[in-house]
Amino acid sequence: METLNYSLLQTLVNECADIDLNDYNEQTHGTFAADYSAASAMVSGHSAKTQEEINTMCKTLHASLLALRLKPSADALNGLK
């Protein structure tokens, strides 16, 4: 029986937990929220059957994270000065 390693997925889920979707463009929320929910459930329930399934979930959540786009904010731009 294969020993499954959830450590990378757990780290990614932990990093995503603090994301405030109110700061991001609403067009990117849906995919990220669904992928985050699925990844969280996989980690908490250790429901994966194979390491490949875990790795695929990591790639999917990471892609959704990278697709998030911050809302334009004058305050954020002024903070760069």
Please give the backbone phi and psi of residue 79, each rounded to the nearest 5 degrees, phi first. -70, -15
pLDDT digits over 20-34, tens only?
A: 999 999 988 899 999
Please give the backbone phi and psi of residue 70, each rounded to the nearest 5 degrees, phi first. -65, 145
pLDDT given for residue 73 in this prediction: 77
User: What is the distance between the alpha carbons of residues 56 and 33, in angstroms, rounded to a whole number?
Assistant: 17
Which residues face 24 on adjacent strands? 70
Q: What fold, for 7-78?
A: 1.20.5
User: What is the distance between the alpha carbons of residues 44 and 3, in angstroms, rounded to a whole number?
Assistant: 16
3-state secondary structure of 11: helix
The model's confidence at residue 2, banded by pLDDT at 50, 70 and 90, is confident
pLDDT given for residue 1 in this prediction: 67
